[in-house]
Amino acid sequence: MTDAATIPGPIDPPARLLMGPGPISAYPSVLRAMSAPLVGQYDPFMTAAMAETQELYRGVWGTRNDATLLIDGTSRAGIEAAIVSLVRPGDRVLVPVFGRFGHLLAEIAERAMAEVHTIETEWGQVFPVSVIEEAIVRVKPTLLALVQGDTSTTMNQPLDEVGAICAKHGVLFYSDATASLGGNAFEADAWGLDAATAGLQKCLGGPSGSSPLTLSERAVEVVRSRGRVEAGIREPGDASAADFVRSNYFDLGMILDYWGPRRLNHHTEATSMLYAARECARVLLLEGRDAVIERHRVAGAAMLAGVQGLGLTVFGDLAHKMNNVVAVEIPAGVPGDEARAAVLTDFGIEIGTSFGPLHGRVWRIGTMGYNAREDAVLTTLAALEAVLRRFGASVPAAGGTDAAADTFRAA
């Protein structure tokens, strides 16, 4: 028997300002929405909330796609659902890799038994669209899988011309917009996306655990052509394709039937995450999609000016940096992990480490969702200045906060 004395107390997290590359501090109204009472999955309130959420996300994605819904799981659940449902074993998939998350798309496509072709560019850069087209012509893929904002490098791959190229060559176009959606322009219809997925824990200002997804009609046709309804709920007339999707949980055909008028039982929708996702989209659209992107642009520009004002060197091609995250070189002589830990423990502020070739070389600082705000930017820069000085770096007094405040005033 468990000794009562060893049972921990109720969860009571410390106050934190999450200024890393995500997760970030959620909007207070999102946290409130998550504590709303549960209802049953076919309660008319629940099905109405699901329909409202679909319509809200059409606004977020910039689409009229009927097939706009949530995948229960973190962002990679959305990625996996899109790829495993759109790609048949043996299909060719082209993945341009410009950071860690391109590798993730390739990895997921490989597990879906696709023939995966990658092209790579140096971390800190994006691809000219001509390079993507050349690779499409050479590889002749069924699907192009392209990250929009790769959080590992902070780069934002331009997508606006890629859809037309894919359409010209008969290629499906999927993008992972986990890190970028809500803080940078994304136009699913105008840019010709066939599939796109995201997560809540970046610019949408929620917790991780729900993945918004949208599919064009062309993509829905592919998914439907692989339809299979599981035994136990299958009805006469339900198709059962030979090349059915090799995942039950991520079979978008069954998920569409669950979200659609048929309401065919699949998983049990994660009610509190639905409430959270609905609230993330609601606050975004209430403020205005363009206004939120502009707020991210200004906060990101202020953080960039601030770190430069502290004399830090910024990583990557600044012309293609996402609005919502910046990578700064850790100054020589400053112990990166120790200094980051001091920012956390002494100031309650989290900034991010980095992966792969950038590990130990840069910190990543985010300004996203609820935290794309002047006070959050200035507080972070003040803490960073104090910690850098403590670890022996020579930093101009108020160099960061002054430069950031000027940027906010100019905006």
Ligand X SMILES: Cc1ncc(COP(=O)(O)O)c(C=O)c1O
Residues that bind ligand X (CB under 6 A): 22, 74-76, 101, 147, 150-151, 176, 178-179, 199, 208
Q: Which is nearer to ligand X, 18 or 305 (CB)?
A: 18
Which residue's entry shows tokens 């480490």?
Answer: 353
Tokens of 375: 């006070």
CA angle 190, 194, 195 (to 5 degrees): 110
Q: Which is nearer to ligand X, 57 or 347 (CB)?
A: 57
Task: Give min distance, CB of 188 to ligand X, in A.
Answer: 16
Q: DSSP string covering 139-198, please?
A: H--SEEEEESEETTTTEE---TTHHHHHHHTT-EEEEE-TTTBTTB---TTTTT-SEEE-
Q: Is 257:264 a contact under the CB 8 Å cutoff? A: yes
Q: Which is nearer to ligand X, 142 or 151 (CB)?
A: 151
Which residue's entry shows tokens 């699907």?
Answer: 143
Task: Give min distance, CB of 176 to ligand X, in A.
Answer: 5
Q: Where are the beta strands (DSSP E) in 19-91?
A: 67-72
Q: DSSP string covering 109-128, please?
A: HHHTT-EEEEEE--TT----
Cα(290)–Cα(278) distance, rounded to whole angstroms? 19
Tokens of 20: 């890393």
Q: Which is nearer to ligand X, 176 or 257 (CB)?
A: 176
Tell me phi and psi for residue 181, to 5 degrees. -60, 130
Nearest Cα to 327, choosing from 382, 298, 292, 367? Answer: 367
Cα(298)–Cα(374) distance, rounded to whole angstroms? 9
Q: Which is nearer to ligand X, 188 or 381 (CB)?
A: 188
Q: Which is nearer to ligand X, 150 or 269 (CB)?
A: 150
| Beta-carbon contacts of residue 381 (< 8 Å; ≥ 6 apart) | 303, 306, 307, 309, 310, 400, 401, 404
- The alpha carbons of the chain give a radius of gyration, in whole angstroms, of 22
Q: Which is nearer to ligand X, 98 or 347 (CB)?
A: 98
Q: Which is nearer to ligand X, 83 or 395 (CB)?
A: 83
CB atoms within 10 A of CB 29: 16
Task: Give min distance, CB of 351 to ligand X, in A.
Answer: 15
Q: Which is nearer to ligand X, 53 or 151 (CB)?
A: 151
294 residue type, one letter = E
